[in-house]
Structure 1
Amino acid sequence: MTASGTQQLRLLWSDLPVRRRGALIIAIPILCLLTSVVAFAALQRSNAVAQQYVDHTQKVLLYANRLLTALVNAETGVRGYALTNRPEYLQPYDAGMASIPHTIEELSQLVKNKPEQEQRVREIQSLSQRKIDIMNQNVARLRAIQQGATDTFRLDAQDKITMDAIRRQITDFSREEEILLSQRKQELNQQQVITIGVLGTTVILGVVGSLAAVYLFDQLDRELAERQTGLRESNIRIQAILDNVVDGIITINEQGHLESFNKAAGMMFGYEPEEVVGKNLKLLLAQYFSGDSVQTLNRFVGNDYSKIRRLQETVGQRQNGTVFPMELVFSEMRLDNQHLLIGIVRDITERKQSEEILRKQATLLDLANDTIIVRDRHDLITYWNQGAVRIYGWRKEEAIGQLSHALFKTEFPQPLEEIQEVFQEEGYWKGEVVHTKRDGSKITVSSRWSLQVDDDGEPLAILEINSDITDRKKAEEDLRSRAGELARLGSILVQTNTALEKRNQELDQFAYIVSHDLKAPLRAIANLSTWIEEDLPGQSEETQHNITLLRSRVHRMEALIDGILHYSRVGRVKASVEKVDVANLLAEIVDSQAPPPAFTISVQPGMPTLSTQRLLLQQVFANLLSNAIKHHDRADGTVTISVQDQGNFYEFAVADDGPGIATEYHERVFEIFQTLKARDTAENTGVGLSLVKKIVEAQGGSVRLESQIGQGSTFRFTWSKSAPRSEELEVMS
């Protein structure tokens, strides 16, 4: 055998499984033994057959000799009887007559399958019968002579001829059988030699086979030892890998029971390996599965293992009862004729959270009014949000994969090549372009491009955000078209403001003149009434009443003129802004009002300090307090002042327990010169509350009345925490 053939044989031998090689090694001595037994049995059978042939031939010779001996003895007996006339000499004759037919019959049976010998037996039988007949005749004649017959006895020459013929036939027959016997003895000897040789060969083969088996067993034992060592090292490496791998790895038998559990799986589920080995797979699952462990396993691998290597999601359960989403995939493995399933488990909690975040972000992107598009390096659309659907009209499946500039029929503000050159250099571009929507209408968009690159700086994609500015562009165009009109209106407003300022100056001058020129006669009338009262002693009650009524009318007229003057100046007179402590301000106002001794004015705590025009706030509180005291129906009335924080404003309330005001008069009381009582019953100008309303509204606040008949009245007004700018005051005025 060549070296390559030997090498191939070794490779073929080493490729065989250990179990099969062991079986073949055991089969070598057994095969040698069986071969020896079979060979020995076959040779023994051949020897037995050869011996049978030898014995058969010897038996044929024996019967042939026996036949010849019987004939010779019979003839000798006849001759002895003839010589002695004594009957006892016929005993060999009688014995021969009895055995010769049987012997001939046996010879016929022994040479039945040999045609030539059968022919000789038939001839011997014929000659023997002739000889028997002759001897029978001779015996009969001898007996007749012995009984007194006159014949003499003489041997017939034919008797000798027949006997000689029988001897020749038997000799030829025996010679043929002896030749055959010699051949068969030679064959028997050869067979015995072969048997000895085969037995020796089988012994040698048995020894060689045993030595080969011992050698191969030794080699196999060494190989198994090496494999065992390698397997231990491999197991150590595999266990190290399994213990350091991120994913959990478990093995399950066909009955659905856990066989092994790596460290990652232990950390994932909170079990030690010895706590779960042999337990049902259900132990690790949060979902309830009816049926036994095999049925539970089949839900993941399929009844015919159709789900093998299929990634599945399920819910796991830790030892402490908490649940978590996990991925599970099974594969098959056979180990020592045991069918195992290897499961790889991965905790996907973070991935699910990330997916949820991405889903929410994607939802936010879809909720965005702007168009958000992602293009690849070839300007093919790969992402299309709902904002793009709303603006352009194309559905996502219609737009993805399209060339963006061709789809939009984009009209660029400059050549596309220049834009792309700037974009490649800076990684960003912003500009206004015109796009065509699905319905054919055109829109102007503010387009912003950002280049997305990988870690190596290679371009990955282009993020494009488009905002529809069509309406803004139209508005800008409208603004430009109306710029002249606005300029003209501005000029008119300047002229109007100039005229208003002039009118305000005239009003101020008029108010001053009215105040001065009207008050002078009133003061003169008041003085005259005093002089008349002093110069006319003994006046009647009616005269005294009329003089008093005259002076009251003069004073009311003066108050009315002052009220008109104050009302006209509200919003036009610029008072200085200062820090005002409202509590101190109210204390000063209460002192100046001089209410009746039994009257109570209560200021609630928590009054603020704010920056405002002190004089205006003082006028508001003074008018409200004066109104509450003057129109109260009792001398022991009560007025309460409180405040609430309303964000940018304070809401002040001035509440009394007076007679109250009917609902239908709640708006009327704020009108100028309006009073609810006759002039003769109560001195009132009707200017105070209208002045309050004008001041409060000029400061950006509001005032309202809450009142019912018999339940008192509450005036609430809001006052800004910070004083309005001068231009705001002018606008409000």
Structure 2
Amino acid sequence: MKRTPFKKLWAGWSQLPIRHRGAIVVAIPAVCLVITLTAWVWSREVLIAVRREIESTDEVIREGNTLLLEQINAETGVRGYTFTRDRTFLEPYRQSLANYQSSLKRLQQLQKKKPGRLAEGNTIQQLVQRNLDNLQQIVNTTEAQQLSNPVSPISQSLFYTGKKTMDALRASVGAMQQTEQTYKDTLLKRREGIQEATSAAIWFTAVISGLGFFAAIYLFRQLDRELRDRELRLRESRSLLEAIVANVVDGVILLDEASRIETFNPTACDMFGYQPDEVIGREVERLLVEAQSLTRNPQTNAKQSLMDSPPVQTGRAWQTSGIRKDGTTFPIAISVSDVQLDDRRLLAIIRDMTDVQATQEKLQSRADELARITTILAQTNVTLEDRNRELEQFAYVASHDLKAPLRAIANLSEWIEEDLQGQLPTENQRQMVLLRGRVHRMEALINGLLDYSRVGRTKAPLEKISVKVLLEEIIDSLAPPATVTIAIAPNLPIFTTKVMLLRQVFANLISNAIKHHDRLDGHITIAVQEQEKFYEFSVADDGPGIDANYHAKVFVIFQTLEARDTKESTGIGLAIVKRIVEAEGGSIWIDSQEGSGATFYFTWLKESPHHG
């Protein structure tokens, strides 16, 4: 059944170490708190920056109003002075002259922080300066006129010029203030959005914190339950371990950091002859003859060896001698493991090697006996090889000595026929032919026996061969009648084997199929099936077949299914085939029914078991 993502997540959670899970449980509310604080600090910093921008915008608007109001007051005062000649009317003008530079400077400083606004400030500065210059000209012109004279045309022209300048100044200041107001509105909307986002973030983190709190409680409960389960399993494991230690067949000793004995199981008690209360808290040195097999230093005591030697750290075992309570010594094997509990512990497993040494001595005795027998067998093999060579030489000489008189008999029968040509009755001529047939059969029998005796003793080299090419050579050498059809499967292998032996097997089987066919138009099929470790070859014919009762008989030496008077056969060929195949690690069998042809199967290893 397919697991859901939650189950997969829970499975991954369960596989984490308890320390990691505890850290995650603690981290959940901590992360939520950090996120909340981060969101609050970020929103606070952003709101402070926005508030400063708004204050800067308000200050620009105020400075613009102040500057414009001072210019208007200055213009009004100059007009009053022009009409009344009362210099008290020039007081606003003088204040404007005293203050306009500082007002323009503050305005420029505020606009420096805002890209693109500096040009507006420069325009306003030029207009203010132009207006003040114009007012100064009006004052100068008015002072030069008689008190009783009305406003001169020059002053009127200057008033018109001042009006245009003031109109331009009002427009510039108004445009600047409108730009600042638009920017202020944008800042106000931004502040509102930040406040809303901050509230949402705080609510979100509050919800996450609440969920994290409940998740932490749940996970803490899970961890607490798991820890209780582990503690229970640990107690059970400890009880089981104590039961195992008490009943194990080897001696088990637990040592503390100072190599003092903490536990001493019953087997160790039986082994050393001590009771637990006699050795617990004592040095383990009293149980060992020496520990120089560990440190290879005769001056190192057992305590130092057990605690400081490399074999202890790697879990290696060594052999030494133990001391029983009665002072007798006995061989032991010790394996020490370094166990990290609250502090370092050493677990020593001790095995009494008395029986093992006795067994080893017996095995050594048997090994010596086997070595002696092996030497005798080697000598026997040499003798057998000598006897085999003598036997092979005898077989060769015997076959030569037997074939010589046989050839003489065959030649003699031919000479008699030639000498008595036309005088021998038909029956005697048939008997002469039968005589020579028996001679040839005897010669073939001798050759077959010689070949049979050589199977398994003659060394055959390994050669790489194509079975298809090998079969073509065999068929060509056998020279079957033209009416006999031999079909070769296309999937025949190419491999390295003992070609001479494989050639002999195929030659005998194909020759047998041709010789014993009951028709001149026989058909023979050669095929192969590849198995894991061997090839399974088959030679099938459509001849008379072989009754199932004779399937085993055909492989027995000298056994034939037809009378020797009707079919010349020594009965050795299939016996040689069987012996070769089985000597090479294969098997051979026949599948046939009388009247339905015969198929000979044999297996041949892909890799020859031995050379020779």
TM-score (norm 2): 0.54
Which amino acid in structure 1 is aligned with residue 347 of structure 2?
A: I
Cα drift, residue 275 of structure 1: 6.8
Which amino acid in structure 2 is aligned with residue 173 of structure 1?
A: M
The reply to whether residue 157 of structure 1 matches residue 160 of structure 2 is yes
Change (3 A) 1:196 1:30: same
DSSP-derived class of the 1:384 partner: helix
Q: Which residue of 2 aligns with 1:109?
A: 109
Q: Write the mapping of 1:310-459 to structure 2, written as runs, cut at 5 A.
A: 310-318=316-324, 322-335=328-341, 340-353=345-358, 355=360, 358=362, 362=365, 383-385=370-372, 406=381, 409=384
The reply to whether residue 10 of structure 1 matches residue 10 of structure 2 is yes
Change (3 A) 1:222 1:325: same
Which amino acid in structure 2 is aligned with residue 93 of structure 1?
A: Y
Q: Which residue of 1 aligns with 2:214?
A: 211
Query: Cα deviation per residue 1:118-154 (whole Å; 9 max; x = unaligned)?
Result: 2211111111110121122233444555999998565
The reply to whether residue 285 of structure 1 matches residue 294 of structure 2 is no
Cα drift, residue 46 of structure 1: 1.9
Q: How far apart are the structure 2 equivalents of 1:121 and 1:80? A: 29
Q: Write the mapping of 1:128-147 to structure 2, written as runs, cut at 5 A.
A: 128-143=128-143
More helix by share: 2
DSSP-derived class of the 1:286 partner: coil
Q: How far apart are the structure 2 equivalents of 1:59 and 1:258? A: 88
Cα drift, residue 193 of structure 1: 0.6
Cα drift, residue 296 of structure 1: 1.5
Q: Write the mapping of 1:8-407 to structure 2, written as runs, cut at 5 A.
A: 8-112=8-112, 114-143=114-143, 154=156, 156-252=159-255, 260-269=263-272, 281-287=284-290, 290=299, 295-297=304-306, 300-302=309-311, 305=313, 308-318=314-324, 322-335=328-341, 340-353=345-358, 355=360, 358=362, 362=365, 383-385=370-372, 406=381
Q: Write the mapping of 1:433-512 to structure 2, written as runs, cut at 5 A.
A: none
Q: How far apart are the structure 1 equivalents of 2:302 and 2:194? A: 70
Q: How far apart are the structure 2 equivalents of 1:280 and 1:39? A: 65
Which amino acid in structure 2 is aligned with residue 32 of structure 1?
A: C
Change (3 A) 1:24 1:250: farther
Q: How far apart are the structure 1 equivalents of 2:216 and 2:206? A: 15
DSSP-derived class of the 1:246 partner: coil
* Unmatched 5+ stretches in structure 1: 367-372, 374-382, 389-395, 413-733
Cα drift, residue 195 of structure 1: 0.6
Change (3 A) 1:339 1:145: farther
- Checking the alignment, whether the CA contact within 8 Å between 2:252 and 2:268 is kept in structure 1 is yes
Q: How far apart are the structure 2 equivalents of 1:277 and 1:96? A: 107
Q: Which residue of 2 aligns with 1:469?
A: none
DSSP-derived class of the 1:157 partner: helix
Q: How far apart are the structure 1 equivalents of 2:129 and 2:309? A: 101
Change (3 A) 1:19 1:116: closer
Change (3 A) 1:128 1:310: same
Q: How far apart are the structure 2 equivalents of 1:55 and 1:267? A: 96
- Checking the alignment, whether the CA contact within 8 Å between 1:247 and 1:265 is kept in structure 2 is yes
- Checking the alignment, whether the CA contact within 8 Å between 2:56 and 2:110 is kept in structure 1 is yes
Which amino acid in structure 2 is aligned with residue 301 of structure 1?
A: P
Q: How far apart are the structure 1 equivalents of 2:257 and 2:175? A: 86
Cα drift, residue 34 of structure 1: 1.2
DSSP-derived class of the 2:112 partner: coil
- Checking the alignment, whether the CA contact within 8 Å between 1:281 and 1:297 is kept in structure 2 is no
- Checking the alignment, whether the CA contact within 8 Å between 1:332 and 1:341 is kept in structure 2 is yes
Query: Cα deviation per residue 1:91-119 (whole Å; 9 max; x = unaligned)?
Result: 33233222222222222222225454222
DSSP-derived class of the 2:171 partner: helix
Which amino acid in structure 1 is aligned with residue 320 of structure 2?
A: T
Q: How far apart are the structure 1 equivalents of 2:139 and 2:303? A: 107
Query: Cα deviation per residue 1:565-624 (whole Å; 9 max; x = unaligned)?
Result: xxxxxxxxxxxxxxxxxxxxxxxxxxxxxxxxxxxxxxxxxxxxxxxxxxxxxxxxxxxx
Q: How far apart are the structure 2 equivalents of 1:253 and 1:146? A: 124
Q: How far apart are the structure 1 equivalents of 2:275 and 2:82? A: 123
- Checking the alignment, whether the CA contact within 8 Å between 1:316 and 1:325 is kept in structure 2 is yes
DSSP-derived class of the 2:6 partner: helix
Cα drift, residue 404 of structure 1: 8.3
Higher RCO by CA contacts (8 Å cutoff, separation 6 or greater): 2
Cα drift, residue 39 of structure 1: 1.8
TM-score (norm 1): 0.46
Q: How far apart are the structure 2 equivalents of 1:332 and 1:27? A: 35
Identity %: 32
Change (3 A) 1:131 1:272: farther
Q: How far apart are the structure 2 equivalents of 1:276 and 1:73? A: 114
Change (3 A) 1:263 1:21: farther
Which amino acid in structure 1 is aligned with residue 335 of structure 2?
A: V
- Checking the alignment, whether the CA contact within 8 Å between 1:252 and 1:342 is kept in structure 2 is yes
Q: How far apart are the structure 1 equivalents of 2:101 and 2:278? A: 99
Q: How far apart are the structure 1 equivalents of 2:187 and 2:244? A: 79
Cα drift, residue 182 of structure 1: 0.2
Query: Cα deviation per residue 1:285-316 (whole Å; 9 max; x = unaligned)?
Result: 3216645888423665348x4xx243310123
- Checking the alignment, whether the CA contact within 8 Å between 1:251 and 1:261 is kept in structure 2 is yes
Cα drift, residue 328 of structure 1: 0.9
Which amino acid in structure 2 is aligned with residue 342 of structure 1?
A: L
Q: In angstroms, what is the RMSD of aligned CA positions?
A: 3.6
- Between 1:11-20 and 1:108-117, the stretch displaced more is 108-117
DSSP-derived class of the 1:6 partner: helix
- Checking the alignment, whether the CA contact within 8 Å between 2:288 and 2:322 is kept in structure 1 is yes
**Number of matched pairs:** 377
Q: Write the mapping of 1:576-615 to structure 2, written as runs, cut at 5 A.
A: none
Q: How far apart are the structure 1 equivalents of 2:309 and 2:280? A: 19
Q: How far apart are the structure 2 equivalents of 1:58 and 1:267? A: 100
- Checking the alignment, whether the CA contact within 8 Å between 2:130 and 2:165 is kept in structure 1 is yes
* Unmatched 5+ stretches in structure 2: 292-297, 388-612
